[in-house]
Amino acid sequence: MYKVIIIGAGISGMSIARELSKYENLKIIVVERKSDVGWGVSKANTALIHGGYDDDPDLYPVRAKLCARGNDIWRKWVKELQIPSVWNGALVIAKNDEEMKELEILLKRGERNGVNGMRIISKEELLKMEPNLSPDSQGALWIPSVGQIAPIPAVVALAENAVDNGVKIIFDSPVEKIKVKDGKVKGVRVSNGFIEGDIIINAAGLYADEISKMAGLDYFTIHPRKGEYWLFDDTAGPKPKHVLFPAPTKKTKGVVVTTEVSGHLMIGPNAKDQDDKEDLANTKEGLEEVWNKAKLIWPKLPPRSKVIRTFAGLRPETKKADFIIKAEEVYGFINVAGIRSPGLTAAPAIAMEVKEIIERDLGIKLKKKNKWKPYRKEITHFFMLSPQQIREKIRENNAYGKIVCKCNKVSEGDILEAIERMKKIGIKVPSIDSIKFRTKATTGTCQGSFCRVKIAVILAREYNIPLWKVTLKGRGSEIGVGDVKSLLREVEA
Partner 1 sequence: MIYDTVVIGGGPAGLAASIKAREEGLNVLLLDEKDYLGGILPQCIHPGFGLHYFKEDLTGPEFAHRLIEKLEDMGVEKRLTATVLDITVEGDKKKVKYVSPEGLESVATKSIIYASGARERHRFELGIVGDRVAGIFTAGEAQTLMDIYGVMPGKEVVIVGSGDVGLIMARRFALEGARVKAVVELMPYPGGLARNIVQCLQDFSIPLYLSHRVLEIRGRKRVEGVKIAKVDDNLESLPGTEFDMPCDTVIISAGLIPRIKLLKKLGVEMDANTGGPMVDENLETSISGIFVAGNALLINDLVDYVVEQGEIAALSAKKYVEGSLQPSRRIRIRAEGNLRFVVPQYVSGKRDVILYGRVKKPQEGAIFKFREIGEERRYPVVKPSEMFKIKLRVERIPSNIRELTLEVK
| Selected binder of partner 1 within 282, 355, 366, 426 (CB under 8 A) | 282
Side-chain half-sphere exposure of 211, counting CA atoms within 13 A: 30
Closest CA to 282 of 226, 323, 237: 226
Distances (CA, A) of 249 to 113, 140, 266, 391, 473: 19, 16, 20, 53, 35
Closest CA to 243 of 259, 232, 230: 259
- CA separation for the pair 369, 389 (Å, rounded): 36
Residue 11 beta carbon to ligand FAD: minimum distance, rounded to whole angstroms: 4
Residue 384 beta carbon to partner 1: minimum distance, rounded to whole angstroms: 14
End-to-end, the C-alpha distance of the chain in Å comes to 57
| Selected binder of partner 1 within 159, 334, 403, 441 (CB under 8 A) | 403
111 binds, among ligand FAD, partner 1, none (CB under 5 to 8 A by kind): none
| Selected binder of partner 1 within 58, 278, 370, 464 (CB under 8 A) | 278
Return phi, psi of residue 372, to 5°. -75, 135
Cβ-proximal residues to 242 (8 Å cutoff; 6+ apart), any chain: 88, 89, 90, 91, 129, 130, 146
50, 223, 242, 264: the catalytic one is 50
491 binds, among ligand FAD, partner 1, none (CB under 5 to 8 A by kind): partner 1
Can you say whether the dihedral through the CA atoms of 105, 109, 114, 115 is positive or negative? negative
39 binds, among partner 1, ligand FAD, none (CB under 5 to 8 A by kind): ligand FAD
Q: Does 42 bind ligand FAD (CB under 6 A)?
A: yes
Q: Is beta strand 168-170 parallel, antiparallel or unpaired with respect to 26-31?
A: parallel
- CA separation for the pair 232, 302 (Å, rounded): 8
* Site pattern 316..355 for partner 1 (x: CB under 8 A): ----------------------------------------
User: Where does residue 468 rank: exposed (0-12), middle (13-18), buried (19+ CB within 10 A)?
Assistant: middle
283 binds, among ligand FAD, partner 1, none (CB under 5 to 8 A by kind): partner 1
Q: Does 472 bind partner 1 (CB under 8 A)?
A: yes
Residue 281 beta carbon to partner 1: minimum distance, rounded to whole angstroms: 5
Q: Does 110 bind ligand FAD (CB under 6 A)?
A: no
Closest CA to 215 of 62, 78, 333: 333
Segment near ligand FAD (CB under 6 A); pick from 32-40, 53-61, 192-200, 291-299: 32-40
Residue 262 beta carbon to partner 1: minimum distance, rounded to whole angstroms: 16
Closest CA to 162 of 33, 357, 364, 9: 9
Q: Does 341 bind ligand FAD (CB under 6 A)?
A: yes
Residue 107 beta carbon to partner 1: minimum distance, rounded to whole angstroms: 39
* Site pattern 156..195 for ligand FAD (x: CB under 6 A): ------------------xx--------------------
* DSSP secondary structure letters along 329-381: SSBTEEEEE---TTHHHHHHHHHHHHHHHHHHTS-PPP-B-SS-----PPPP-
Q: Does 391 bind partner 1 (CB under 8 A)?
A: yes
Give residue 96's Cα distance to chain centre.
34
Q: Does 473 bind partner 1 (CB under 8 A)?
A: yes
Residue 443 beta carbon to partner 1: minimum distance, rounded to whole angstroms: 12
- CA separation for the pair 335, 158 (Å, rounded): 20
- 141 vs 314, beta carbon nearer ligand FAD: 314
Q: Does 46 bind ligand FAD (CB under 6 A)?
A: yes
Return phi, psi of residue 403, to 5°. -80, 125
Instruction: For residue 410, give the 3-state DSSP assignment.
Output: strand
Query: Which residue's CB comes closest to ligand FAD?
Result: 343
* 50 is an active site residue: yes
Segment near ligand FAD (CB under 6 A); pick from 35-43, 374-382, 388-396, 418-426: 35-43
Segment near ligand FAD (CB under 6 A); pick from 30-38, 286-294, 352-360, 419-427: 30-38
* Site pattern 382..421 for ligand FAD (x: CB under 6 A): ----------------------------------------
Task: Give me the count of residues in the chain.
Answer: 493
Cβ-proximal residues to 358 (8 Å cutoff; 6+ apart), any chain: 20, 199, 334, 364, 366
Residue 471 beta carbon to partner 1: minimum distance, rounded to whole angstroms: 7
The answer to whether residues 136 and 95 touch, using CB atoms and an 8 Å cutoff, is yes
**187: which strand partners?**
179, 196
Residue 87's CB: how many other CB atoms inside 10 A? 15
Residue 413 beta carbon to partner 1: minimum distance, rounded to whole angstroms: 10
19 binds, among ligand FAD, partner 1, none (CB under 5 to 8 A by kind): none
Enumerate binding residues for ligand FAD (CB under 6 A).
7-13, 31-34, 39-42, 45-48, 50, 174-175, 203-207, 211, 227, 269, 313-315, 339-345
Active-site annotation, residues: 50
Which residues are near partner 1 by CB under 8 A?
235, 278, 280-284, 287, 304-305, 307-311, 387, 390-391, 394-395, 398-399, 401-403, 406, 409, 411, 445-447, 449-450, 452-453, 457, 467-468, 471-488, 490-491
